[in-house]
């Protein structure tokens, strides 16, 4: 008859602690994280207060929306849209067009850039990304994207007209399309 040794409880605890530490270190290194930070999240924007450029653009956006009987608010829920790499690190402010039948929709983002040239370049990159496979899969089919350049800022507004509970979302987009320079999305 052979004698079986009993497992050492201290060794089992050490193995468990080692496994937990290894998992924690791998997670901290980003192993298994997505390679592109391009999907929507509720991650906060880079922490900066709204710049003077963003405030000027916000006022213009608010005036355009008000002329079409829409309000603009700071959302109560954190929001960050899918973005191309050109927008990920840009200073931004998030607002929400008040859509009475769609309180969870109507998000609008104003991005701030050092100058109009870099804003235009980032807008064109975002437009190309939205029209590409990697960009388009981040939105429901049929989503319409509006990108407007206003000086050294970009205004982005994406909405699925057929899926929105508030049919007036198209009217809000039309109001936003009256300001700044258009950056077309698509072929």
Structural domain boundaries of the chain? 52-182
Given this model, what pLDDT does residue 45 score?
43
Helix, strand, or coil here: 7? Answer: coil
What pLDDT is recorded for position 81?
Answer: 93
| The two structure tokens encoding residue 80 | 């960050």
Q: What is the pLDDT of residue 9?
A: 56
pLDDT of 162 reads 79
User: Quick one: pLDDT at residue 67?
Assistant: 96
Percentage of the chain lying above the pLDDT 90 cut: 63
- Please report the beta strands in the chain, taking only residues with DSSP state E, as ranges in sequence order: 72-73, 91-97, 107-112, 144-150, 153-159, 181-182
Beta strand 181-182 pairing with 72-73: unpaired
Residue 34: pLDDT band by 50, 70, 90 thresholds? very low
Q: What is the pLDDT of residues 115-143, one digit of tens each?
A: 999 999 999 999 999 999 888 898 988 89
pLDDT per position as a tens digit, 51-62: 999 999 999 999
Higher pLDDT, 148 or 37: 148
99 against 7, higher pLDDT:
99
Question: Could you read off the pLDDT of 83-113 as tens digits, one per residue?
Answer: 999 999 999 999 999 999 999 999 999 999 9
Structure-token pair, residue 142:
């049929």
Three-state SS at 182: strand
Q: Which of 52, 165, 171 is nearest to 103 (CA)?
A: 165
Q: Indicate the length of the chain as a whole number.
A: 187
Reading the block at residue 25, the tokens are: 């270190």
Which residues, 6 or more positions from 34, have their beta carbon under 8 angstroms from its beta carbon?
none
Share of the chain above pLDDT 70, in %: 73
pLDDT at 7: 55
Mean pLDDT of 136-151: 93
Q: How confident is the model at residue 49 (pLDDT cuts 50, 70, 90)?
A: low
pLDDT at 74: 96
């Amino acid at each position: 008859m052979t004698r079986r040794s009993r497992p050492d409880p201290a060794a089992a605890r050490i193995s468990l602690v080692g496994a937990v530490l290894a998992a924690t270190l791998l997670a901290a290194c980003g192993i298994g994280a997505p390679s592109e930070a391009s999907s929507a999240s509720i991650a906060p924007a880079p922490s900066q207060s709204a710049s003077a450029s963003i405030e000027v653009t916000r006022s213009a956006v608010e005036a355009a929306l008000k002329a079409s009987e829409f309000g603009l608010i700071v959302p109560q829920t954190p929001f960050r849209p899918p973005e191309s790499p050109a927008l990920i690190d840009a200073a931004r402010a998030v607002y929400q067009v008040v859509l009475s039948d769609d309180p969870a929709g109507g998000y609008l983002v104003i991005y701030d850039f050092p100058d109009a040239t870099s804003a235009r370049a980032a807008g064109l990159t975002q437009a190309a990304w939205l029209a590409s496979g990697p960009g388009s899969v981040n939105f429901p089919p049929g989503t319409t994207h509006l990108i407007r350049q206003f000086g050294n800022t970009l205004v982005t507004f994406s909405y699925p007209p057929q899926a929105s509970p508030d049919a007036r979302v198209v009217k809000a987009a039309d109001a936003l399309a009256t300001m700044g320079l258009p950056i077309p999305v698509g072929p």
